[in-house]
Amino acid sequence: MEDILNPTTFIGNFEWREPVTTLTDFLVAIVALIGFIKFLKYKGEKSKRSHYFKLHFLFFAIGMTSAAWFGHGLQAYVGPEYKRIGWVMAATGLRMFGLGSLQELKENITSKLFLTIRAFYIAQYIFFVAIMIYPMTSDFIYAQLSSTISLIVFILPIQITYYLKTRSKGSLIIILTITYGLIPGLVFNNQISINKWFNYHDISHVLMAIFMSLMILGTTKLTHLKS
């Protein structure tokens, strides 16, 4: 559906591909950066969990900035292989989120089980990153699959378990946010668009910005972070 993509805009001799898609993708990066700054500036007691969440937002901010410009805006000047930067950074961000979530259960499960879950989670990350960066298998579908497995197979069960044990409002927000996160995926995969200036890329990016905002709310409550 190339005809539904944003038309290219020229600013002098500068060729800007998919301008609205670039900006909506960059919007997600800005929201993630706000999350990173919020954790970075906090002067109270910091846990290992909050450190992982801080890195989650940092890697996502880098990844979505890369996706916005290398994946869309600057396509006339860079090759498609540069899209891998955004994919890998986003996968790394979710890895940090998963490791932060796992810290919640460290005191409630055996050391052996903790290390086993951690090893499987890291192995899954390495596997998908290898697929994403290898030229013969590099494809956005693997970035989507990596995100889905991280969120649904690892992070969601951990947050549900923690919520059942503690009734944490932060965990509940994250559980609801992950459930809501299915909507941007459905919009993207079904290419639900309004027109070429606000297509399925743009709609899913705006929905992802909301997703990231809710993640900030959930993680700050989970770690008792205060402004």
State the Cα–Cα distance between residues 74 and 72, nearest whole angstrom.
6
State the Cα–Cα distance between residues 215 and 64, nearest whole angstrom.
15
How do the domains of the chain map onto residue ranges? 19-222
Q: Say which CATH superfamily domain 19-222 falls into.
A: Rhodopsin 7-helix transmembrane proteins (1.20.1070.10)
State the Cα–Cα distance between residues 132 and 199, nearest whole angstrom.
25
Q: What angle (nearest 5°) sits at the alpha carbon of residue 226, between those of residues 49 and 37?
A: 70
**Mean pLDDT of the 142-156 span:** 93
Q: What is the pLDDT of residues 159-192, one digit of tens each?
A: 999 999 889 999 999 999 999 999 999 999 999 9
DSSP code of residue 130: H
Q: What is the pLDDT of residues 16-61, one digit of tens each?
A: 999 999 999 999 999 999 999 999 988 766 788 899 999 999 999 9
Quick one: pLDDT at residue 42?
83
Quick one: pLDDT at residue 108?
78
Task: Report residue 105's pLDDT band, with 50, 70 and 90 as the boundaries.
Answer: confident
pLDDT above 90: residue 152: yes
Assessment of whether the complete model's pTM goes beyond 0.85? yes
Quick one: pLDDT at residue 2?
56
Task: Report residue 1's pLDDT band, with 50, 70 and 90 as the boundaries.
Answer: very low
Indicate the average pLDDT of the chain.
93
